[in-house]
Amino acid sequence: MTESVTYPAILKEGREAGREEEARRILLALGTKRFGKPSTKIRKVVAGMTEPAVIEDLATRMLDVKSWTELLAERE
């Protein structure tokens, strides 16, 4: 099975999905600590993010903004 073309693709897809999920989890955890509990709307915006690099950039940008709204202003 490991010689299959499909098997490595499935593994890669699984790793990417895990990376996305972890990046969203970290963003929400750090944001909650800095800005307070996110609203349902904010949680939906974050849940809809699929690019780990974008999510990671937002986590870094969090140091420069004062609220969830300001952090996600370009995303909504």
> How confident is the model over 10-46, as pLDDT tens digits?
666 666 667 889 999 999 999 999 999 999 999 999 9
Tell me how far apart the alpha carbons of residues 65 and 16 are, in angstroms, rounded to a whole number.
28
pLDDT on residue 5: 72
Instruction: Say if residues 49 and 24 touch (Cβ distance below 8 Å).
Output: yes
If one compares 55 and 4, the residue with the highest pLDDT of the two is 55
Q: Is the pLDDT of residue 6 over 70?
A: yes
Res 52: pLDDT: 87
What is the average pLDDT value for the chain, to the nearest integer?
85
Helices 6-35 and 52-61, interaxial angle, to 10°?
20
Query: What is the reported pLDDT for 31?
Result: 96
